Structure 1
Amino acid sequence: MSQNYDAGMYDSVTIKHVGELDLIEIERPECSASLTLQGGQLISYAPRGEHPVLWRNPDVAYQKGEAVRQGVPICWPWFAFLERNADPVRNSFPIQEAPAHGVARNALWRLLSITEEETSTAIAFELNAEPLGLKAVVTYRLGAVMKMELESFNLSDQPKHLSCALHTYFAVSDIQQVSVLDLDDLPYIDSLRGWSLHKQDGPLHIAEEVDRIYYDTPAILRIHDKKWERFIVLESSESRSAVVWNPWIEKSKRLSQFSPDSYKHMLCVETGKLLNDYIELEPGQSYTLDLTLSSRR
């Protein structure tokens, strides 16, 4: 697993081998969670005694080198197809065949540390992307709320521009009982309508395939689940852009690691630094994107 992990050192941490991957499992009075070194990814998270905050995908595949469609895949240092990013981001990565969503989500990260605190367990992973002149460190604090920090470092002697998204799969009772709040009057790019520009009118209700990039977003976004009588609250002091995605019926039939009816029970609201909300790093500089998730009545 790692020289930083000793089974006898931690009360809340165990290792479980699933498929081709090792999962780091957390069991605390406040929550349960699991993570994997592949992608430096949080796989599951549920406050104790509540519905999971993150969607549990019954068709998920734990395979080496393949993105895990569950939890919080990290899209970094660009989002979606590189050519869709802002010019400064594209110019920072003159790559012939750039993988969609960057290099982080399929890569094997290194375990930096595990720290058991009074009300949470903190786990940090590191990804050295030296060929791109970058390094990333992601830290999770898992307790009654989930706190995540993704820090990007410029290792090169040239300025770097990058974008990223925390591609969070949220668990919902029934997609038609759910609305996304705090988007009213915000501009968004609709990738399903030729990447055209639109403006949100009121809460967002999902009744068809949705794939939108919102910008000028507030520090807090909420998902209201009427059936489960809860709000999932996303807080980020740095992000001013977000993606909302649900594949709906027809696309669900074509997706890997996805059942035809899985769209009913998940919704992606992705905290990001996207479009013109990209990260600018001078040589030696770093930048931290934060995300806090909580479940509230």
Structure 2
Amino acid sequence: MTDALSKQFDAEGVSFSMKDRLMMIEVDNPFATAVITPHGASVLSFIPKQGASAGQDLLWVSDVAIYDGQKPVRGGIPICWPWFGKSDEEGLPAHGFVRNRVWHLDSAHSHDNGTTELVLTCDSDDVTRKVWPHDFHLSLRIEIGEKLSLTLTTHNLNGYDLSFTEAFHTYFAVSNSTGVEVQGMASALLLDKLTNAVPVRQQGSVHIDPPLDNVYLDQTSPVSFDDVRANRRIVIEKNHSQSSVVWNPGAEGVKAFSDMGDDAWQTMLCVESGNVLDNAVVVPSESKHAISMTIFAEKLS
């Protein structure tokens, strides 16, 4: 199968392999290397070749992640859609169902400037309609260059408005999560999902002292945080995203995840871009909505 795909998609620097039961799409261009799996259309690695993060992955994937196709890979950038968090209906998976679907690789293209573009798609069918009774076409465009850019486009194929929530559930690799200061959330409405405290407006930066599970509504500006030991600042730019989420399970919470080591919380931090809770998206019939996110690193000194 991987040989056939290599012939079908002859983009320079794009190859295919298997890890356990999951296919891996490997990209190697002048700017970076990257790994994507069609299972959930999840980017699992992005390692720039130059600049502040040269040779260092911006993304974190668990050392004990599972690649058997029964669940999403723990780490990288899972796609949460058409709901974020717990479902309103009992028995349905958290964060929607497309992160555990096998997406179709529509195209792989090498641009003249050296960047690589992949497009993966996911469509409604009899299986998805049993979980979520609506018709849709999803397209994820991934651009790999000096920066990593993702654009998720939802096409509403129904004869009525479609409402959903969504997020790029990005796991960032950090030297030490404790003490990180996340910038860009000031004035956003903070919902603390651990304490369920009365929502307040965020004042200043977000100090990371795990565990935490914070949702920031009405948050549209770029977000950044410093990975001091790695001498890099990770920057997140986004468009058509009204929400951000910051999550780390901490020393006790991580024990609830069989696909995370007990110390994993120290070297990862989820800073997610999306439209969640009260920032839900409504797309008119036969119309489209696109959310995009770009991540990159800058030197601290």
Alignment TM-score, normalising by the size of structure 2: 0.90
In structure 1, what is the Cα distance between the partners aligned to 2:107 and 2:197?
A: 41
Across the aligned residues of Structure 1 and Structure 2, the Cα RMSD in angstroms comes to 1.7
Per the alignment, residue 69 of structure 1 pairs with 74
Per the alignment, residue 60 of structure 1 pairs with 65
C-alpha displacement at 1:184, in angstroms?
2.3
In structure 2, what is the Cα distance between the partners aligned to 1:195 and 1:205?
A: 17
Count of paired positions = 286
In structure 1, what is the Cα distance between the partners aligned to 2:226 and 2:27?
A: 27
Per the alignment, residue 149 of structure 2 pairs with 147
In structure 2, what is the Cα distance between the partners aligned to 1:35 and 1:174?
A: 25
Q: Is the contact between residue 4 and residue 113 of structure 1 (CA under 8 Å) also seen in structure 2?
A: no
Amino acid aligned to 2:192:
D
Per the alignment, residue 262 of structure 2 pairs with 260
Match of 1:138 among 132, 137, 140: 140
In structure 1, what is the Cα distance between the partners aligned to 2:5 and 2:279?
A: 35
In structure 1, what is the Cα distance between the partners aligned to 2:17 and 2:179?
A: 35
In structure 1, what is the Cα distance between the partners aligned to 2:114 and 2:182?
A: 29
Per the alignment, residue 41 of structure 2 pairs with 40
In structure 1, what is the Cα distance between the partners aligned to 2:17 and 2:98?
A: 22
- 3-state SS of 1:288 partner: strand
In structure 2, what is the Cα distance between the partners aligned to 1:98 and 1:199?
A: 32
**Unaligned 5+ runs, structure 2:** none
Identity of aligned residues (%): 28
In structure 2, what is the Cα distance between the partners aligned to 1:158 and 1:8?
A: 37
1:209-228 matches, cutoff 5 A: 209-228=211-230
Per the alignment, residue 106 of structure 1 pairs with 100
Going from structure 1 to structure 2, the CA distance change for 1:96 and 1:60 (only over 3 Å counts) comes to closer
**Unaligned 5+ runs, structure 1:** 84-94
Amino acid aligned to 2:27:
I
Q: Does residue 119 of structure 2 align to residue 127 of structure 1? A: no
Deviates more, 1:178-187 or 1:238-247: 178-187
Per the alignment, residue 239 of structure 2 pairs with 237
Amino acid aligned to 1:65:
Q
Per the alignment, residue 92 of structure 1 pairs with none
In structure 1, what is the Cα distance between the partners aligned to 2:270 and 2:225?
A: 10
Q: Is the contact between residue 24 and residue 36 of structure 1 (CA under 8 Å) also seen in structure 2?
A: yes
1:173-184 matches, cutoff 5 A: 173-184=175-186
Structure 1 segments (4+ residues) deviating >3 Å: 1-5
- 3-state SS of 1:253 partner: helix
Amino acid aligned to 1:18:
K
Per the alignment, residue 289 of structure 2 pairs with 287
- 3-state SS of 1:276 partner: helix
C-alpha displacement at 1:4, in angstroms?
6.0
- 3-state SS of 1:175 partner: coil
Amino acid aligned to 1:199:
R
Q: Does residue 165 of structure 2 align to residue 160 of structure 1? A: no
Deviations 1:206-240 (A, max 9, x none): 11201011012133111211222211111112111
In structure 2, what is the Cα distance between the partners aligned to 1:44 and 1:190?
A: 29
Q: Is the contact between residue 44 and residue 70 of structure 1 (CA under 8 Å) also seen in structure 2?
A: no
- 3-state SS of 1:263 partner: helix
Alignment TM-score, normalising by the size of structure 1: 0.91
In structure 2, what is the Cα distance between the partners aligned to 1:180 and 1:135?
A: 34
- 3-state SS of 1:227 partner: helix
In structure 1, what is the Cα distance between the partners aligned to 2:198 and 2:8?
A: 52
Per the alignment, residue 115 of structure 1 pairs with 109
